[in-house]
Amino acid sequence: MNWQIELRRISKVFDERVVLRDISATVTAPGAWTILGPNGSGKSTLLRIIAGLLTPTEGEVLYLYNGERLTAHQRRQSVGMVAPDIALYRPLTALENLRFFARARGLPVRDSDLLRWLERVQLRSRAHDPVASFSTGMVQRLKLLTALVHRPSVLLLDEPGSNLDEAGMEFIRETVREQAQHGIVIIATNDTRELGYGEPLVRLGA
Amino acid sequence: MNRSSGWVHEAFAVFAKDWLLELRTRVALGAVVLFAVTSVVASGFALAPPSGVPAEVKTALLWVVVFFAAVAGLSRVFVVEEETRTADSLRLAVSPTGVFVGKLLFNAVLMWGLCLVTVPLYLLLLEVPVRSASLFVTVVVLGSTALACATTAVGAIVAKATTRGALFGVLSFPVALPPLLVAIHGTKAAWLSGGAWRVATGDLQVLVGFILVIVPASLLVFEHIWSE
C-alpha cells in the first residue's frame, strides 16, 4: 500500500485576507504529521482544504494511491475527519449517529458491531441517549468513532484533545499510534500535549 | 467490512436519517400541517356557502394552500444542516448526488403526506364534486412532486445565503410558478370536464417534463453549490 498526499502551492484568501500563502508539502503513508501554529494562523483552514471541504484559492491537493490519483468519491471513502466545527446530529442517539455514518458510507453494519465500537470509548451505556444530552468530551469521543467507522486510510484531526479528560487523551494517542502504522494522520494543533504525536509537516505563522 | 458503492444507498441513508430527525423534532411536519390545516379550515368558513364559489377559485385556492405549506416546511432541509453545523459531516461522508436525492425524496414524501391530509379535507369543506377522480389523483401526485422538486432545488441554492427567507421567496416564484399554474389547470379539468383526461393531457406532459428537467439540472448545479 502506498498512500501519498501532495499539497501543491496552496494559498487561501478570504475576501482580501490572505490566510495561507504558497504551502507545499508531501506526506507518504505510514506516519503521523502535525500542522503547527498559533490561533488564527490557518491550521484549520489548511486541514479543511486537505479534507476537500474548502477549495484553495490557488494550488491543489492530490491524493495518490500507488501513484494513481484518487477521484472525489474515492477520497471521501478514504478520509475521516474530526474538527470542532463539524457537528453530529444532536437529536439522534449515539448509536443512530454511528449507524447513519456507517450506512451513508455503504457499510453493512450490525448494531452489535457498533455497540462494540461504543464500548471502546466508554459510551456503550449511553448508546441510546440523544447526543444533545452528552458532555463536550463525550461528543468529542463519539466524533472520533464516526470518523473511524469506515476505517479510513487518512485521518485528519483538528485539535483532537480539546475537552477530553486523560482517558480520552489516551484513546487519541492510541488511535493516532494505530493509524500511523498503516495510514496517514495529520493533526492540526497548538496543544503542547499533542505536539509529539507526529513529525512537524507545516509550521504556520500568525 | 464490505462496502457497497454508489449514490443510491447514500440517498436512502440521508432520507432515513432526515425522517428520524423529523420524527424527533417535528420542525417541518409542524410547520406544514399547521399551515395547511389552518388555511383549509379558514377557507372553508370564509367561503361558506361553498356552492356559490366558482370552481376556478377553488382550484387556485387549493394549490395556493399546498404551495405555501410546502414553502413553510420544505425549504428547511438544507438550511437546518448549515445551522446545526452538520453540513460538513455530510460533505465528508456522502456524495452531493446522494445528499440531493435523499433530501428530494424526503421533501417528496412530506408533500405527498401533506396532500393526503389537506386535499380530502379541502374537498369535504368546500364541497367539490370531482368528475374524474383518477385524473385528480394523478394531477395531485405529479403537481406535488413537481413542487417538491422546485422547493428542494431552491432550498439548496439559498441554504448558505444570509438572507435566506427573502431569497427563497424571490427564487421560488419563477421556478414553482409553471408547475403551479399547470396543476391548477389540470385540477380544474378533473373537477369540471367531461373528457377530463383528453383536456388535461398537455398539463400532465408539462408536469412530467418539468420533473424530468429540474432534477438533472439541479443535480448539475448542486455539486458546485454544495462544495463550498
Domain ranges of chain A: 3-203
ipTM: 0.91
Per-residue pLDDT, B1: 43
B93 touches chain A (CB under 8 A): yes
Closest CA relative to residue A102, chosen from A126, A118, A122, A83: A118
Is B26 in CB contact (< 8 Å) with chain A? no
CB contact under 8 A, B227 and A85: no
Question: Above pLDDT 70, what percent of chain A?
Answer: 99
Q: What is the mean pLDDT of residues A24-39?
A: 93
pLDDT tops 60 at residue A173: yes
Yes or no: say if B215 and B149 are a contact pair by the CB < 8 Å rule.
Answer: yes
Mean pLDDT in residue range A61-75: 91
**Model confidence at A157: pLDDT above 70:** yes
The verdict on a CB contact (< 8 Å) between A104 and B14 is yes
Chain B hits for A98, Cβ within 8 Å: none
CB-CB: which of B9, B21, B95 is closest to A89?
A: B21
Q: Does B25 touch chain A (CB under 8 A)?
A: yes
**Nearest by Cα to A95 from A166, A149, A56:** A149
**pTM score of the predicted model:** 0.91
Sequence-ordered list of residues with C-beta below 8 angstroms from that of A193, at least 6 positions apart, any chain: A161, A169
Count CA atoms within 13 Å of residue A91 on its CB side: 14
pLDDT of residue B2: 46
Separation CA B31–CA B47 (nearest Å): 24
What local confidence, expressed as pLDDT, does residue B131 receive?
Answer: 87
Residues of A with CB under 8 A from a CB of B: 51-55, 72-73, 76-77, 79-81, 83, 85-92, 96, 100-101, 103-109, 130, 146, 150-151
For the CA atoms of A62, A66, A69, A72, the dihedral, rounded to the nearest 10 degrees, stands at -90
- pLDDT in the model for residue A146: 95
pLDDT exceeds 60 at position A54 = yes
Closest of A162, A169, A159, A97 to residue A136, by C-alpha: A162
Nearest CA in chain A to B27: A91
Of B20, B85, B93, the CB nearest to A76: B93
- Chain A interface, mutation test: which of B1, B101, B227, most A Cβ atoms within 10 Å? B1
Which candidate, B178, B170, B171, B177, places its Cα nearest to that of B209? B178
CA–CA separation, B96 vs B91, rounded Å?
7
- Measured between beta carbons, the chain B residues lying within 8 angstroms of A90 are 84
Q: What is the pLDDT of residue A154?
A: 96
> Which residues in chain B land under pLDDT 50?
1-2
Tell me which CATH code domain A3-203 carries: 3.40.50.300
Distances, alpha carbon A161 to alpha carbons A38, A150, A169, A182, B213, in Å: 16, 21, 6, 22, 48
**Interatomic CA distance for residues A29 and B142, integer angstroms:** 52
A120 pLDDT more than 60? yes
Question: Closest to A86 (Cβ–Cβ): which among B2, B20, B85?
Answer: B85
Nearest CA-CA partner of B138 in B100, B193, B183, B85: B183
Closest chain A residue to B83, measured at CA: A87
Eight-class DSSP state of B142? H
Q: How far is CA A159 from CA A12, A38, A187, A202, B202, in A?
A: 20, 12, 7, 15, 59
Identify the pLDDT of residue B79: 87
3-state secondary structure at position A157: strand
Residue A165, pLDDT score:
84
Residue ranges per structural domain of chain B: 7-227
Looking at the complex, report in whole angstroms how far the Cα of residue A45 sits from the nearest Cα belonging to chain B: 13
Q: Which three cell numbers stand for residue B14?
A: 440521508
A202: three-class secondary structure by DSSP: strand
Looking at residue A43, its pLDDT comes to 95
Distance (Å, rounded) from C-alpha A108 to C-alpha B209? 37
Look at residue A112 and tell me whether its pLDDT is greater than 70. yes
Q: Measured on CA atoms in the order A101, A104, A107, A113, is the torsion positive or negative?
A: positive
Task: List CB contacts (< 8 A) between B2 and chain A.
Answer: 107-108
**A92 contacts in chain B (CB < 8 Å):** 17, 20-21, 24
In the prediction, which pLDDT does A206 show? 60
Q: How far apart are CA B217 and CA B214, in angstroms?
A: 5
SS3 (DSSP) at B86: coil
